[in-house]
Structure 1
Amino acid sequence: MPTGVHLRDPRDQLFSAAEHVLLHDGPDALTSRAVTARARCAKGVLHRHFASFDAFLAEFALDRIDRLRAGGDALRASAGTGTVAGNLTGALPGLFGPAAMRLVVLAAFHHQVRARLRAAGPVGGVPVLAEIAAIVAAYLAAERDLGRLTADAGIAALARTLTGAAHLLFAGSDDPPPTAGAVREVVTIVLAGALPATG
């Protein structure tokens, strides 16, 4: 008798199942049983593709970080269009979406996942948040190169400040997401000293 359904792409289906569990039940509920039950497959399928459940969680997190980088590519491509504050206000909700916020918690409280992410990621720092800071820094550097930020703007400091402030805005998982006005207010305050004088 079959123990589950045939998985056409086991990794993607297992990752989708893990994301569903993470979003709906939280990091504490992420177990191999919960993931395979959601994916409707036998537990052996997961262990056939990953050396351990810790390895699975790390690969899942890396896959979702890659998706964040895709959003970062779009943000960087927006350099030179609209306004710097407007571009960041539009991009930050996507970078700090519910899945990313739950991944931060997962990495913070799961030592093995955190260690694997740090080993795999070149940016260092707090996993996921450091990736977002790198995305924001790349965008700000592109805007500075275009003259839309002052030549002496401290890109790394600005990116870390924006990331930290945005994390505080978006981290309340039980609260409604911040409004665009609240995000714009933070972005505007952080960028105030880095925008060229006009007029």
Structure 2
Amino acid sequence: MPTGVHLRDARQQLFDAAERVLLRDGPNGLTSRAVTDEAGCAKGVLHRHFTDFDAFLTDLVLDRAAQLETQMSTLRESAGTGTVANNLTDALTTLLGPIPMAIIPLITFRDELRARLRQASPGGGIAILGHATTVISAYLADERELGRIAADADIDSLTLSLVGGGHLAFTDRAPGPPTTAVVNKLVTAVIADAVRRRPA
């Protein structure tokens, strides 16, 4: 590999390279050498920006979780529009897309990464699912305030059912991720009672 390749935004390019390796080769294939080879730079570039590979992975996960949280601001904005089921279907499809679903087993696979995430962020070792839970819970609370779900709906239980059920549905992606119809069926079943009992 050439040592003189200049990366204009090294951190971002290394993160993007890591995502490509993770999607292609899985957690076992994600090494510092694989990342720098994918980015087309010398291995030393990664170590100039991060103290070690686990520090790199910690920042990668936190960066992607923050991006996901930004993307999901649209869910909060959708409260009171469309249908609750369709809004949640769209949100779960984004929250549990290819990158988040590739990062979750990476966190499970690396003990040191989980430990560092616990130190760095609330929700720690499950940062991606933690962000998903926070966003969906806040959205459901907004819809409850607007009267589109029952005033006595258990937001915590609904959130756990949606995120947990969605995670299971997206975990087995063969021959591909679940269709929108499958996700919508899950969401509709989870929220059916809360929506049915909402004030007229």
TM-score bucket of the superposed structures, by smaller chain? over 0.9
| Residue 103, structure 1, aligned to residue 109, structure 2 | no
The answer as to whether partners of 1:57 and 1:113 remain within 8 angstroms in 2 is yes
What is the CA-CA distance between 1:4 and the residue it aligns to? 4.5
Q: Equivalents in 2 of 1:26, 1:20: separation in Å? A: 9
Letter in 1 for 2:96: F
Alignment coverage as a number of residue pairs: 199
Q: Deviations over 1:41-81 (max 9, x none)?
A: 11111001001100001100111101110122111111111
Q: Equivalents in 1 of 2:124, 2:42: separation in Å? A: 35
The DSSP-based 3-state class of the residue aligned with 1:126 is helix
| Residue 81, structure 1, aligned to residue 73, structure 2 | no
The answer as to whether partners of 1:114 and 1:127 remain within 8 angstroms in 2 is no
The answer as to whether partners of 1:4 and 1:40 remain within 8 angstroms in 2 is no
Letter in 2 for 1:17: A
Aligned to 1:94: 94
The answer as to whether partners of 2:113 and 2:125 remain within 8 angstroms in 1 is no
Q: Deviations over 1:132-177 (max 9, x none)?
A: 1111111111111111111111111111110010011111133311
Letter in 2 for 1:164: G
| Residue 20, structure 1, aligned to residue 38, structure 2 | no
Q: Which runs of 5+ in 1 are unaligned?
A: none
| Residue 191, structure 1, aligned to residue 166, structure 2 | no
The DSSP-based 3-state class of the residue aligned with 2:127 is coil
CA RMSD in angstroms, aligned pairs only: 1.7
Q: Equivalents in 2 of 1:57, 1:107: separation in Å? A: 9
The answer as to whether partners of 1:137 and 1:155 remain within 8 angstroms in 2 is yes
The DSSP-based 3-state class of the residue aligned with 2:72 is helix
| Residue 135, structure 1, aligned to residue 135, structure 2 | yes
Which portions of structure 1, spanning 4 or more consecutive aligned residues, are displaced by more than 6 angstroms? none
What is the CA-CA distance between 1:197 and the residue it aligns to? 4.4
What is the CA-CA distance between 1:124 and the residue it aligns to? 5.2
Aligned to 1:162: 162
What is the CA-CA distance between 1:125 and the residue it aligns to? 6.8
Range with greater deviation from structure 2 (98-107 or 129-138): 129-138
| Residue 53, structure 1, aligned to residue 38, structure 2 | no
Q: Equivalents in 2 of 1:157, 1:172: separation in Å? A: 23
| Residue 33, structure 1, aligned to residue 33, structure 2 | yes
Q: Which runs of 5+ in 2 are unaligned?
A: none
Q: Equivalents in 1 of 2:170, 2:18: separation in Å? A: 21
The answer as to whether partners of 2:65 and 2:131 remain within 8 angstroms in 1 is yes
Range with greater deviation from structure 2 (117-126 or 48-57): 117-126
TM-score, normalisation: structure 1:
0.94
Letter in 2 for 1:163: V
Aligned to 2:172: 172
TM-score, normalisation: structure 2:
0.94
Letter in 2 for 1:173: R
What is the CA-CA distance between 1:180 and the residue it aligns to? 1.1
